[in-house]
Structure 1
Amino acid sequence: MRLGDQIARAGFVALAVGLGWGIRGDFGHNVGAMYPGAALGLALAFVSGQRSLFRWMPILAALSALAIGSGGTMSYGLLHGYAQADTFINYSYGFLTLFLQGSAWGTFGGALIGLMLERRPMRTSDWLGLGGSILIGGWLIGFLVVRGLGFQINPPRNNSSIVFMGAAIGQFIWLACNDRPTGLRGAFLGYVGFGLGMAGGRLLGNLANVMQGEFGFTINHWNVMEVSCGLIGGFIYTMGMVNRAYPDPPKEKNIDLASVFGIVFVLGLIPLWHRVTRIDPEETLSSWADQLSAAGVADPNAAASMTLRLLDGSCVLGFVGVALWLWIHFRGILRGAALPVLWLSGTMLLFQNLNALYFLLPPRDGYVNMHHVFWVLLALMVIYAAIARPSPSEVPEAAEGGPRFAWRRWIVGTLAAFAMIVALAGAINGEATMASANTRWPAWSWRDGPFPGRAPAP
């Protein structure tokens, strides 16, 4: 596979996951993170060009959605606040913990994709061993760090991210000790990809804060961070995974049944789950009507009611996608491999735009609306899918005579990239980023007024 082609394929996955992570920010928690998790599996399977991954696609997407979605229980707002400080001890701590938390977010989905693609299928005892190692690692590290050392990662918030970090360690130990090279590679790439994605995304969010102060525009720095996290994580993961040939699913009837469940879950239930758990009709209608009234819409209540009906319609659209994907999957139409990720992305973007009243609220002067950026990302995905015909890689796994994974190069590159992020933060962070920062040394929040020891701004 030529490097340019590999970069283009990784770029498509980056767009899909970046869009997913940006939209995820509007809904949060577990269900919000399921969408970018599913997008990772769908997009990787498409750009591989391999019929084997086309057959695996529903299962890869569903497992990746559940694994990455589980990270939605972690609290991370204060960690971003630390990384916006302008004192070295605070922002370096913020970026380190964001890297570790982003890693814990991405590694489980990355590992499950890799484990599905192993030459030696997982048995029930293997799954039990892996699950036990994850649980023991999470409990042990949580107990030692929180109970034993009394360390709180972001007080007064919860310490679930420490448990996830320990679970990631348990997963790595099991994969390394049980000769699962593809699963180990997937876990590592998910770890470094989304770790650098979270830390690098925060750096770009800080840069957005500085630039809007310098150039007189406004932008949602959280959206910048979230989109960048998905872009970086999806790109790095794909660069390390796409240039290999993977085996077909085992010829068992339960694979077909699992594929049906995966298709229904990914395209149908994920949008519906957002509607049921994240949209309260009474509260939402009231909020929408207030916003539309303030914007000068003639009949805000009617417009809000119509928006809710259209939002419900977007969930129906998801089940239309289920029917199309079932037809494409079981007919073996490889040319339709891009449809699931494009359909999910389009459905969720429509859902998010309706919820944000994107089509009804007037534009704001000097405001860079990230919803416009979301549509650009989707358009770029459509263009790539329309013109690209990814051919399958013929490079075997190392166990089959292929090249070994360049572990040393990847580890050194990751350390160098993280060091660069911290170094650049020293030049970027300042008053513009401190405006919404939190610090641990001393404990302080931007809501408390001027940073201790500084005079109030004139």
Structure 2
Amino acid sequence: MTLVDRIGRSAFVGLAVGLGWGIRGDFGHNVGAMYPGAALGLAFCYVGGQRSLFSWMPVLAALSALAIGSGGTMSYGILHGYAQSDTFVNYGYGFLTLFFQGAAWGTFGGALIGLMLERRPMSTSDWLGLAGSIFIGGWLIGFAMIRLLGFQINPPRNNSSIVFMGAAIGQLVWLACNRRPVGLRGGLLGYVGFGLGMAGGRLLGNLANVMQGEFGFTINHWNVMEVSCGLIGGFVFTFGMVDRPYPEPPKERNFTLSSAYGILFVLGLIPLWHRVARVVPGEKLRSWTEALRSSGHPDPELWAQTILPMIDAACLFGFVGAAVWLAAHLKGRSRWAPLPILWLSGTMLLFQNLNALYFFTPGKAEHVDMHLVFWVIFGLMILYVAFADPRPAALPDTAGGDEHRGRFVAWGLATLAAFALILVLAGWINGEVTMRSANTRWPEWSWRDGPFPGR
């Protein structure tokens, strides 16, 4: 696998997860995070180019969706506010906690993908040991930080992210102690990739704020951050995982049934869950009608009532994709490997655009419409599928423990260097524009109070 090929495969996964994370911003919480989690598993299996990964795809996508989706309970809005301040102690704290929270978001999905691809299968006792380590790690760190030290990560919000950070440490310790190199690789790459993605995405969001202040356009800096988080996280994870072959799944009837459930969940139930949990008809009809009326639409009530069945049709489209994927999966047609990620991305893009009234309201002048950016990302994904033909890694995975340890050390050093660069650039980028919505913690002070005390 050439470096250019490896970068191209990683970029495709980055685009898929970046699109998912950007759309997730409209829905939030656990159900919203399931989509980019599923996109990570689907896109990684596709670019791996291996028949074995095509067979694993439904299970890996479903597990990744559930694992990354679990992070949706973490509160992180105020942490982004800290990272927008112009004092080092505040933005340094903001970027550091965002790194740890992004890491806790990505590591569980990455580790599950790696564990399923281990050559030595996990036993029931292994799964119980891993679950126990995750629980103990989360409880110990939560108890020590919150109960003993009285530390609140982002008052007045909840402290669940501290528990997730501890659980991530417990998971990585178990993987290292039980000699699960592929699981550890996936967990570490998910950790550093999405940690740098969350912190780096916030930095790019800050830069977007500065640029719109300087050049007179507007852009949703939250969408910039979210897309960048998924793009960086998906790229880093894939770059470290795609250059090796993976074993075939077990030839058991239960695995075929699990695959069918995974297909139904990923393409059918995830969009439907968004519809049930995030589109409340009464509330949406009122908000859609008001938005259409304010934009000058000639018949806002009629069109608002039309949007809901359109969203339902998008959900039905997801179930149609699940049926097609299931047929291809049962027949072992690995040439259909790009279909699931494109189908899920297209379904969720239509869902989000309809919900946001993108097709029914005019664009704003001098505004970078992130909905258009989402379509550009989707178009780039289609172009990759049309012109690229990912081939499997040719060499056997014979790397020993020394090689793994060497790579882990290199990843750690590269992560420290990248985070240091983020802090340096933040000191240059953060300023009057980025601090309008910033939060400060040391000292107690609001931007509305005027210049920083002592200046």
Aligned to 1:337: 337
1:350-390 Cα deviation digits (max 9, x unpaired): 00000000000101101100000000000000010111111
SS at match of 1:157: coil
Query: 2:112, 2:160 → 1: CA distance?
Result: 21
Aligned to 1:196: 196
Task: Give the alignment of 1:415-430 within 5 angstroms.
Answer: 415-430=416-431
1:388-429 Cα deviation digits (max 9, x unpaired): 111100233345899646112111111000000000000000
Aligned to 2:137: 137
Query: 2:292, 2:402 → 1: CA distance?
Result: 59
Partner amino acid for 1:250? P
Query: 1:163, 1:397 → 2: CA distance?
Result: 35
Query: 2:226, 2:211 → 1: CA distance?
Result: 17
Aligned to 1:276: 276
Partner amino acid for 1:220? N
Aligned to 1:184: 184
CA contact (8 A) 1:37 1:109 kept: yes
Partner amino acid for 1:216? G
CA contact (8 A) 1:110 1:189 kept: yes
1:119-143 Cα deviation digits (max 9, x unpaired): 0000111000000000010001000
SS at match of 1:207: helix
Query: 1:445, 1:194 → 2: CA distance?
Result: 30
Aligned to 1:410: 411
Query: 1:440, 1:402 → 2: CA distance?
Result: 43
SS at match of 2:75: coil
CA contact (8 A) 1:204 1:225 kept: yes
Per the alignment, do residues 5 and 403 of structure 1 end up closer, same or farther by CA in structure 2, a change over 3 Å counting? farther
1:18-71 Cα deviation digits (max 9, x unpaired): 000000000000000000000000000000000000000000000000000000
Aligned to 1:148: 148
Aligned to 1:42: 42
SS at match of 2:395: coil
Structure 2 gap ranges (5+): none
SS at match of 2:186: helix
Partner amino acid for 1:80? H
Aligned to 1:313: 313
Query: 2:77, 2:288 → 1: CA distance?
Result: 26
CA contact (8 A) 1:9 1:47 kept: yes
1:223 aligns with 2:233: no
Aligned to 2:300: 300
Count of equivalent residues: 454
Query: 2:318, 2:403 → 1: CA distance?
Result: 41
CA drift of 1:454 comes to: 8.2
Partner amino acid for 2:340? P
SS at match of 1:438: coil
Structure 1 gap ranges (5+): none
Query: 2:328, 2:443 → 1: CA distance?
Result: 58
1:95 aligns with 2:95: yes
SS at match of 2:437: coil
Per the alignment, do residues 155 and 402 of structure 1 end up closer, same or farther by CA in structure 2, a change over 3 Å counting? closer
Partner amino acid for 1:115? L
Query: 2:316, 2:437 → 1: CA distance?
Result: 40
More deviation, 418-427/405-414: 405-414
SS at match of 2:433: helix
1:368 aligns with 2:368: yes
1:237-268 Cα deviation digits (max 9, x unpaired): 00000001100001111100100000000000
Query: 1:293, 1:453 → 2: CA distance?
Result: 46
Aligned to 1:56: 56
Query: 2:322, 2:5 → 1: CA distance?
Result: 30
Query: 1:258, 1:443 → 2: CA distance?
Result: 53
Partner amino acid for 2:206? N
Aligned to 2:324: 324
CA contact (8 A) 1:41 1:113 kept: yes
CA contact (8 A) 1:397 1:403 kept: no
1:205 aligns with 2:205: yes
Aligned to 2:391: 391
Partner amino acid for 1:416? A
Query: 1:454, 1:213 → 2: CA distance?
Result: 26
CA contact (8 A) 1:395 1:402 kept: no
1:260-303 Cα deviation digits (max 9, x unpaired): 00000000000000000011100000000000001111110100
RMSD over aligned Cα atoms: 1.4
CA contact (8 A) 1:196 1:232 kept: yes
CA drift of 1:443 comes to: 2.9
1:86-107 Cα deviation digits (max 9, x unpaired): 0010000000000000000000
Query: 1:386, 1:220 → 2: CA distance?
Result: 31
Query: 2:248, 2:269 → 1: CA distance?
Result: 26
Query: 2:178, 2:409 → 1: CA distance?
Result: 21
Per the alignment, do residues 261 and 106 of structure 1 end up closer, same or farther by CA in structure 2, a change over 3 Å counting? same
CA contact (8 A) 1:396 1:402 kept: no
CA contact (8 A) 1:444 1:451 kept: no
Per the alignment, do residues 58 and 157 of structure 1 end up closer, same or farther by CA in structure 2, a change over 3 Å counting? same
Aligned to 1:164: 164
CA drift of 1:438 comes to: 0.3
1:379 aligns with 2:379: yes
SS at match of 2:274: helix
